[in-house]
Amino acid sequence: MFEVGSLIIYSAHGICRIDGISEKTISGVSKHYYDLHPLRSAGLKISIPVDNDSILMLDLIERDEAEVIIESFRSPGVEWIDKSSDRNHTYSNILNSGDRKEIAKVINTLMRQKHKLQSNHKKLNQQDQNMLNSTQQILFNEIAISLDTTYDAILDRVNRIVEAVFHSEERVLSHSGR
């Protein structure tokens, strides 16, 4: 059970603070609910049953895991899937798992693909761009809190890693005669 005041990750809402635990009666059934508010949407209030195991609520990652995740951007991500519907389905399943290391791999792959396309004066399709933006927001904000920094600082740090790896791979390919 989470405690009042705790920061947690809750689905697409990202980082939420538990403001309280209240008892509510709905259809004659009384249950305890977490009263949450997403940090990105201070005006939004969410009530989640305390005893609902099917709802994915996670503790924030620790500092050492945050550093490991940032460094993971030096390694390849998940496999790029050419067919967009298959890619969206596969990547969404990974994102819904809540496994931050696997989520980082999806972000890594999308970032690398974006750099590859930009180098050819193209863009990610809108669905991939939306997936990248929303998952970066959640994961990088979580990492920023764990490392006591800002989202922008984490985004900049990861971008520098991905760009360096991308340019290094480009140099290797150009020297091997493509």
pLDDT in tens, 27-62: 998 999 999 999 888 789 999 888 877 677 888 999
Closest C-alpha to 103, from 63, 70, 64, 126: 70
Closest C-alpha to 105, from 68, 141, 142: 68
**How far is Cα 53 from Cα 143, in angstroms, rounded to an integer?**
25
Structure tokens at 72: 């993971």
- C-beta of residue 70 within 8 angstroms of C-beta of residue 35: no
Measured between alpha carbons, how far is residue 134 from residues 54, 128, 171, 173 in Å?
A: 22, 10, 31, 31
Structure tokens at 97: 């798992």
**pLDDT one digit per residue (tens) for the chain, 178 residues:** 889 999 999 877 889 999 999 999 989 989 999 999 998 887 899 998 888 776 778 889 999 999 999 999 999 999 999 999 999 999 999 998 889 999 999 999 999 999 999 989 999 999 999 999 999 999 999 999 999 999 999 999 999 999 998 877 766 666 665 5
Whole-model pTM: value is 0.86
- C-beta of residue 146 within 8 angstroms of C-beta of residue 63: yes
Partners of residue 33 on adjacent β-strands: 22, 49
Return the SS3 of 161: helix
